[in-house]
Amino acid sequence: MNPEQIDLDALVDTFASEWLRLGESPLATQIVADPVLVLGPEGTTPVPRSAFLAAVTARSNAVRDSADSVTTFAGASAQSLGDRMVLATISWSFSHGDTTTTLVSDFLLQREGPHPLRCVAYLPRTNVLDHLE
């Protein structure tokens, strides 16, 4: 395997671990662009970082309030798009009660500044809140 791909995979794995703690992480302002493009029911929309982080915090609180829920990083794949951009698909394993579901999102990440990767577009394929019932 190409050493550059190994480094890229490690960077994306680190980003995914940080993303999982986004609602509680002081790194949130470093790893999320302002605004960030978010895929929603009406298409992709630029969302101010503060509004995005408020929504992420509310989602994290809902999951945390569900005592029998656990989310863990399951894996990622990454493709470099030139020198500065990375397309990543990240999956998490979400367990709630007796059910385990794979949550998947795509990210357009930019290499910039002191932090290796910053999310400029968040394209969720699944929504954890759909699995909390």
Mean pLDDT of the chain: 85
CA distance 113 to 118: 9
> Which has the closest alpha carbon to 130: 45, 57, 55, 62?
62
Q: CA 124: distance to chain centroid?
A: 8
Look up the CATH number of the domain holding residue 85.
3.10.450.50
Provide the whole-model pTM: 0.86
Helix, coil or strand: residue 113: coil
Tell me the residue range of the domain where 45 lies: 3-128
The answer to whether residue 50 is domain-embedded is yes
The answer to whether residue 123 is domain-embedded is yes
So what's the pLDDT on residue 4?
Answer: 63
* Helix then strand then coil, % of the chain, to nearest 5: 35, 45, 20
The answer to whether residue 8 is domain-embedded is yes
The answer to whether residue 133 is domain-embedded is no
pLDDT in tens, 65-109: 777 888 889 999 999 999 899 999 999 898 888 888 898 999 999
CA distance 98 to 68: 9
pLDDT value at 61 more than 80:
no
Domain count, the chain: 1
So what's the pLDDT on residue 30?
Answer: 87
Q: Which amino acid is at 86?
A: V
